[in-house]
Amino acid sequence: MPSSEPRGPRQIGRALVWSWKGLRAAWRHEASFRLEAYLSVILFPLGMWLGQDAIEKAMLCGSLVLVLSAELLNSAIEAVVDKASPEFHELAGRAKDMGSAAVFLLMLNVLMCWGLVLGQRIL
């Protein structure tokens, strides 16, 4: 369904403000996001330095961005579930567990990307 609001610089500006608010909320309320952000601040420049070409740099750094993105989505799922159903419900628990599993799989992806890119140089 097309939006009745025209697209343009004003809408892009609003989207940037909302995105910034989301990042600030995640930083303020989510310890996991803060930890992953700290690790990314260290590993991102390291990935840019260790990657020998654009593909390697994209693999090393992009995998970190995916973890942060999944953590934001997982936190959003948890917040909505907690708001909609503060008491335990099997489906609510399943939704939270699946969000957590998505973050975990992307963390495994980071290990795989870094291991494959850097491991070929060691072996």
Which tens digit of pLDDT belongs to each residue from 48-102? 999 999 999 999 999 999 999 999 999 999 999 999 988 888 999 999 999 999 9
Residue 103 pLDDT greater than 70, yes or no:
yes
Tell me which residues are annotated as active site: 71
DSSP run (H or E) holding 4: none
- Which residue has 């654009």 as its token pair? 54
DSSP calls for 48-77: HHH-SSHHHHHHHHHHHHHHHHHHHHHHHH
- Which residue has 């330095």 as its token pair? 49
Provide the pLDDT for residue 61.
98
CA atoms of 45 and 91, how far apart (whole Å) = 40
Q: Where are the domains of the chain?
A: 31-122
Identify whether the C-beta of residue 35 lies closer than 8 Å to the C-beta of residue 15: no
Identify whether the C-beta of residue 58 lies closer than 8 Å to the C-beta of residue 34: no
Q: What class does CATH assign to 31-122?
A: mainly alpha
